[in-house]
Amino acid sequence: MIGSTPEATGQAERSWTLSFTVNGQRHELAIHPERTLLEVLREDLHLTGTKGACLEGECGSCIVLVDGVPQNSCLILAPQMEGREVVTIEGLADGTVLDPVQRAFVDNGAVQCGFCTPGVVLSTKALLATNPHPTYDEVRRGLEGNICRCTGYMKVLGAAMAAASAEGPGVADASPEDRPRP
Amino acid sequence: MFHRPSTLTEALELKSRLKDKGVFLAGGTDLVVGVAKGRLAVEHWIDLSGVPGLSYVREEREELAIGPLATHAMLERSAFAPALAQAARTVGGPAIRNRGTIAGNLGTASPAGDVSVALLALDATLTLVRSQGSRAVPIRDFFVGPGKTRIAPDEMIQEVRIRRPADSAFLKLGKRQSVAIALVSAAAVRQSDGRVAIALGSVAPVPLRAAQTEAHLAIAGLAPDAIREAAGLVSAEVKPIDDHRASADYRRALSGVLVRRLLEQLAAASSNHESAAPV
């Protein structure tokens, strides 16, 4: 059930079989169909990098990539993921080598308490996949659905701009006055 | 019970059998939250994510067809009618727009539905389908009250269609620039025959067409004086309430400001167009 603890979801209620791919690995799970993707990721697959905070699509801490597109995992009922490919924050690094977006967040000190970070990193990843050289304003818009309660937005936006420069062959297309001010 | 039909026929047959006990699930941005927060209990989910061919936004000559699983993100990328893309763009953040559907937004029938306001100004036609056939409903007749529409218990929204307007624009003011519910939203549309339509959200139990203001504009046109008078008229015409987001007085004032700005945009675009036309 949505919002229920794992204990409340008894074996008898696991009436649905879900087949999907998470971080490149195929899974077939017996679940209660009224559980969210967020719950299944965290409780069944123990991928606790994906966070749940507002549980109503306002904060972005639960964002994952579904077929490459950022979506709020708290708003998805798990059976809707049949046959889909989900990427969580755990799926970005290649072994011990961080993804360029993760690297940029580390290098730019863009992490405070860290709770919003997985969602912000995945939103940045998705933005750069469709728009490799965003302007500063496009980055702001791309991350508008991610709330940082530490309010560390300037470092986050700087890291995203740095990731854009690092990921592509060229330098991000932003004029100096577009760039974040310290 | 969770149902995941693989064809539209199967989905409609389920709905026809279950009626109000069956709820179509698309993006889940309202329904899943409703259940999570205990506001809603669903006996039978009818998930549409396994039905192919429902997720489209396509131009068919002078009309735009919006499929039942078309998302806000898809509409945001359409250049067909600026008001529609602008309205879709103001909903939530990118991840929400990738999930939330236009049909779902209409079915939820929130007085603050942003795309609903744009579609109302554009005189959209909704096709409602059930096992035994379909019917067309003008969007003007679709909304009945907050959360209430003309959809029968065995029907779903199969398609939304609009005709290409000459010009259109949408504006919304929320408490922030992103992920915010509208204090007031407004759309203005100029059709090719010169007729101007105005719709507003969050100022009445349902998205509202400003009929008196439209009648004034039909006579007075888009001259600066006429626009100022229209702003005054629309403030008197809306029926907002006081709530935790804004007072009724503020919403009245805001309605006038947004409509004035929209009409100025349409007037400027129209005069540019005329001066650019060959003599």
CATH number (domain holding residue A58) = 3.10.20.30
Same structural domain, A65 and A129:
no
DSSP B168-233: EEEEEE-SSSSS---SEEEEEEE-TTS-EEEEEESSSSS-EE-HHHHHHHHHHTT-HHHHHHHHHH
The Cβ of residue A102 has, within 10 Å, a number of other Cβ atoms equal to 21
Mean pLDDT of B89-116: 95
Contact B165, B194 (CB under 8 A): no
Query: What is the percentage of chain A residues whose pLDDT exceeds 90?
Result: 82
- Alpha carbons B145 and B140: distance in angstroms, whole number: 12
Q: Does the domain formed by B167-273 have CATH 3.40.50.10860?
A: no
Number of structural domains, chain A? 2
Is the Cβ pair A57, B25 closer than 8 Å?
Answer: no
Same structural domain, A74 and A114:
no
How does pLDDT run across A106-163, given as a tens digit for each residue? 999 999 999 999 999 999 999 999 999 999 999 999 999 999 999 999 999 999 999 9
Which CATH number among 3.30.365.10, 3.30.43.10, 3.40.50.970, 3.10.640.10 corresponds to the domain B1-48? 3.30.43.10
Same structural domain, A86 and A14:
yes
The predicted pLDDT at position A182 comes to 43
Q: Is the C-alpha dihedral spanning B79, B81, B82, B87 positive or negative?
A: negative
**Does pLDDT of B235 surpass 70?**
yes
Chain B residues 53-112 with a CB less than 8 Å from chain A:
92-96, 98-99
Let me know if residue A53 belongs to a domain: yes
Average pLDDT value over all residues in chain A: 89
**What is the domain partition of chain B in residue ranges?**
1-48, 167-273
The predicted pLDDT at position B279 comes to 46
Single out the residue in A58, A90, A122 at which a domain terminates.
Answer: A90
Q: What is the CATH classification number for the domain harbouring A161?
A: 1.10.150.120
**Does pLDDT of A94 surpass 70?**
yes
Encoded tokens for A25: 């690995």
- Which of A17, A75, A151 to probe the B interface (max B CBs under 10 A)? A75
Mean pLDDT of B82-89: 97
- What residues of B are in contact with residue A9 (Cβ under 8 Å)? none
- What residues of B are in contact with residue A123 (Cβ under 8 Å)? 94-95
Phi-psi map region of A98: left, alpha, beta (phi>0 left; psi -120 to 50 alpha): beta
Nearest to B36 among A55, A80, A145 (CB): A55
Same structural domain, A41 and A76:
yes
**Does pLDDT of A177 surpass 70?**
no
Same structural domain, A81 and A15:
yes
Which residues in B103-137 are b (16+ Cβ under 10 Å) and which e? Answer: bbbbbbbbbbbbbbbbbbbbbbbbbbbbeeeeeeb
**Does pLDDT of B278 surpass 80?**
no
Let me know if residue A144 belongs to a domain: yes
Q: What's this model's pTM, rounded to 2 decimal places?
A: 0.91
Chain A residues 67-96 with a CB less than 8 Å from chain B:
69-72, 74-77, 79-80, 82
The predicted pLDDT at position A1 comes to 59
**Does pLDDT of A3 surpass 70?**
no
Query: What is the percentage of chain A residues whose pLDDT exceeds 70?
Result: 84
Nearest to A145 among B32, B50, B94 (CB): B94
Same structural domain, A113 and A154:
yes
Reported as a pLDDT band with limits 50, 70 and 90, residue A51 is very high
Half-sphere exposure of A163 (CA within 13 A, CB side): 32
The predicted pLDDT at position B180 comes to 85
The predicted pLDDT at position A171 comes to 39
Chain A CB within 8 Å of residue B40 CB? no
The Cβ of residue B240 has, within 10 Å, a number of other Cβ atoms equal to 23
Reported as a pLDDT band with limits 50, 70 and 90, residue A175 is very low
Is the Cβ pair B92, A57 closer than 8 Å?
Answer: yes
The predicted pLDDT at position B275 comes to 59
Chain A CB within 8 Å of residue B41 CB? no
Chain A CB within 8 Å of residue B181 CB? no
Same structural domain, A145 and A122:
yes
* B248 burial via Cβ count (<10 Å: 0-12, 13-18, 19+): middle
Reported as a pLDDT band with limits 50, 70 and 90, residue A49 is very high
The predicted pLDDT at position A170 comes to 38
Of A168, A130, A149, A102, give the one whose Cα is nearest residue A138: A130
Mean pLDDT of B69-74: 98
What is the number of H-type helices and E-type strands within chain A?
5, 5
Single out the residue in A41, A58, A90 at which a domain terminates.
Answer: A90
Same structural domain, A72 and A110:
no
**Does pLDDT of B36 surpass 50?**
yes
Bridge partners, B213 (sequence order): none
The predicted pLDDT at position B270 comes to 85
Let me know if residue A181 belongs to a domain: no
Reported as a pLDDT band with limits 50, 70 and 90, residue A173 is very low
Let me know if residue A95 belongs to a domain: no
Chain B CB within 8 Å of residue A158 CB? no
Mean pLDDT of B260-279: 80
**Does pLDDT of B213 surpass 70?**
yes
Chain A CB within 8 Å of residue B25 CB? yes
**Does pLDDT of B82 surpass 50?**
yes
Encoded tokens for A128: 């750069």
Let me know if residue A153 belongs to a domain: yes
Mean pLDDT of A82-88: 98
For B73, nearest residue in chain A (alpha carbons): A69
Nearest to B47 among A58, A80, A145 (CB): A80
- Lowest average pLDDT, out of A23-32, B42-51, B263-272, goes to B263-272
Same structural domain, A34 and A55:
yes
Shortest CA gap B105–chain A (Å) = 15
- Alpha carbons B30 and B56: distance in angstroms, whole number: 21
Chain B CB within 8 Å of residue A127 CB? yes
Single out the residue in A39, A61, A90 at which a domain terminates.
Answer: A90
- ipTM of predicted assembly, 2 dp: 0.92
The residue range of the domain holding A107 is 100-176
Amino acid identity, position A92: L
Residue pairs between chains A and B whose CB atoms are closer than 8 Å? 90
Chain A CB within 8 Å of residue B179 CB? yes
Chain B CB within 8 Å of residue A34 CB? yes
